[in-house]
Structure 1
Amino acid sequence: MTRDLIVILGTGGTIAGTATDAADNVGYTAAQIGVDQLIAAVPQLASRRLEHEQVAQLDSKDMDFATWQRIAEAAARHLARPEVSGLVITHGTDTLEETAWFLQRVLAPTKPVVITAAMRPATALLKDGSQNLLDAVTVAADREVAGVVVAFAGQIHSAEQVRKVHSYKVNAFASAEGAQLGVVEEGIVRWFGRSAPAAQALGMARISRPAAQWPRVQIVMNHVGADGAIVDALLAQGVDGIVVAGTGNGTLSAALERSLEGAQAGGVKVLRSTRCDAGPVMAAGDLPSAGALSPVKSRIELILELLARS
């Protein structure tokens, strides 16, 4: 059996959005057209062996655990098929980096899983989604990559280090610490001598619990005048874990640090990250470091760890 089939999973987002005015790149409604229409809008994909499935249809600002479960289940099902060489997932940009890291940690696939998106709706005069989709399929067909990567604006990023760094530009994503994996140039993938990060597969059993029963993990931030009031409020609501986005090397105000240490002593799991765009948090003090993960990806790590404990 030839392993050359690419499966495209649609989940909505701006790439599937529409506006009444083709010149309007911000006043659109996301998740309006199906993944079949996205594929049909790219004639260059006609020569590819493709399948598609509409897994969800939402604006990624509204992404939730139940949808994550459906995406992971669909991805695992297709990856297990011997004829499938890779997957493409169309997504919204707002929470793309979180979904990418979640799938990398849960699946750790040995085939390429390429997530792509768009900053402009499908009705835009100069839409970016079609090129991004074409590039994503090109990357998914490349045997040099295994794992979850992001193909966007001609660049290829790892799930671990990719971050949305601009609110409006079409090249809205970047990799921290110069960790970009490669580029797509005129339909050709050029790797920078790097590979996608290896990660142990946690397995689908880790996320089998109903989404409504997943641990509650919230993010707090250190800033001028930060105190422990927000931590106290979260504890009163029965939070299971807290990620703190510290300043610099994960530094915290004395008041916020005392509150978090008290939460940890009371059985609430705490991880210390940084609000800086790049760089790890070096281990120091009683609150464990999240390493080089951003606050939102640290939250995913903590959720998955707590799911394993219960």
Structure 2
Amino acid sequence: MQSNSLEERLVVILATGGTIAGSGDDVGYVAGQVGVKELVAAVPALGPRRLESEQVAQVDSKDMSHEIWQALAQRVAHHLARPEVAGLVITHGTDTLEETAYFLHRVLSPTKPVVLTAAMRPATSLQADGPQNLLDAVTVAASPQASGVTAVLNGRVHGPVEVRKHQPFMLDAFESGEAGPVALIQEGRLRVLRAWPSCEAVGVARVLGPVAGWPSVAVVASHAGVDGAVVDAIVATGVQGLVIEGTGNGTVHASLLAAAQRAQARGLPVWRATRCPGGAIVGAPDGALPSAGELSASKARIEMLLGLMAAV
């Protein structure tokens, strides 16, 4: 039985490293140096909370891997199945947080809250934002109002489809584009703004088995002067899918488009996304590649990856 008191509702914290666990100055720090127990101990307000913690990985999130995704999905699924667990928090680096959030969203789509959080400053910084973000994330994970996979940073609760890191250094580095945040945390209280994220999950079973056997999906950017030979070279390595990060409304340079069409002729799925940080691709002109819609190129890669797994 779960208590109605937020302090008594059990939250499991899974740590993967990142800047939130970093040590050093604000730019020259080393990520993933502080363990999860130390992170929790550094937030006195978490003292009364009912928490468990587990170190799943300890990496700079720029180096996030499919192996860690697989392990994380399994551990999240394990704890979600425990009736006494109200929700989970995942501490993560900011660079690939939006990718991990989307991956877990599509694999699990949980009814309990699974909250990713991170920091733009290392734990040793005078401007450390990790402690407040961790406290906010635990607040969301313990809330009976919350559900699904979200990301909590700087007082905002972002959905996994829309969230993007839009600024490389400032504390307010994440946004949700036109959709806006799902909720806000104000004075320790949750203010819900729109529906919590949900989708038809593919299931954790799809991402089990040797990671070496996962399909390979590449992302290529369209830009002025791009040579389509880059696509030919990537296809020659044996990739099984391709996402083009297009310009504007998902437009693709003529040289790149010709190469993408050659890849399609060989049976490879090729999608087009947009490098614009907001909005979604609208329409499908004659001859256009299939659209990734509102997904960024990195999230479209995950969607294609999971789809290809189903076909194996």
Question: Please, what TM-score do these two structures have when normalized by structure 2?
Answer: 0.95
Check the 8 A contact 2:32/2:59 in 1, yes or no: yes
Secondary structure of 1:47's aligned partner? coil
Corresponding pairs, count: 305
Secondary structure of 2:164's aligned partner? strand
d(CA) in 2 for partners of 1:120, 1:245: 29
Offset from partner CA, 1:218-263 (integer Å, 9 cap, x none): 1111111223111100111111111001111111122211211110
d(CA) in 1 for partners of 2:150, 2:306: 20
* Superposition deviation, residue 62 in structure 1: 0.6
Offset from partner CA, 1:65-122 (integer Å, 9 cap, x none): 0000011100000000001110000000010000000000000001000000001111
* Superposition deviation, residue 33 in structure 1: 1.1
Secondary structure of 2:200's aligned partner? coil
Check the 8 A contact 1:215/1:240 in 2, yes or no: yes
Offset from partner CA, 1:1-58 (integer Å, 9 cap, x none): 2262100001100101111xxxx21111110111111001111111111111111111
Alignment of structure 1 residues 180-199 onto 2, 5 Å: 180-192=181-193, 194-199=194-199
- One-letter amino acid of the counterpart of residue 237, structure 1: T
1:119 corresponds to 2:124: no
1:6 corresponds to 2:8: no
Query: What is the aligned partner in structure 2 of residue 42 from structure 1?
Result: 43
Check the 8 A contact 2:2/2:86 in 1, yes or no: no
* Superposition deviation, residue 188 in structure 1: 0.6
d(CA) in 2 for partners of 1:306, 1:275: 23
Q: Percent identity?
A: 56
* Superposition deviation, residue 286 in structure 1: 4.6
Question: Please, what TM-score do these two structures have when normalized by structure 1?
Answer: 0.96
Query: What is the aligned partner in structure 2 of residue 294 from structure 1?
Result: 296
Offset from partner CA, 1:157-197 (integer Å, 9 cap, x none): 001100001110111101121421121111111111x1123
Check the 8 A contact 1:12/1:32 in 2, yes or no: yes
Alignment of structure 1 residues 209-288 onto 2, 5 Å: 209-284=209-284, 285-288=287-290
Query: What is the aligned partner in structure 1 of residue 169 from structure 2?
Result: 168
When the two chains are superposed, the root-mean-square deviation of aligned CA atoms in Å is: 1.1
Query: What is the aligned partner in structure 2 of residue 73 from structure 1?
Result: 74
Check the 8 A contact 1:114/1:148 in 2, yes or no: yes
Deviates more, 1:283-292 or 1:71-80: 283-292
Name stretches of at least 5 consecutive residues in structure 2 with no aligned partner. 4-8
Query: What is the aligned partner in structure 1 of residue 311 from structure 2?
Result: 309
Check the 8 A contact 1:9/1:89 in 2, yes or no: yes
Secondary structure of 1:243's aligned partner? strand
d(CA) in 2 for partners of 1:283, 1:251: 11
Runs of 4 or more, structure 1, over 2 Å off, are none
* Superposition deviation, residue 126 in structure 1: 2.1
d(CA) in 2 for partners of 1:78, 1:283: 41
- One-letter amino acid of the counterpart of residue 90, structure 1: T
Query: What is the aligned partner in structure 1 of residue 83 from structure 2?
Result: 82
* Superposition deviation, residue 209 in structure 1: 2.6
Query: What is the aligned partner in structure 2 of residue 101 from structure 1?
Result: 102
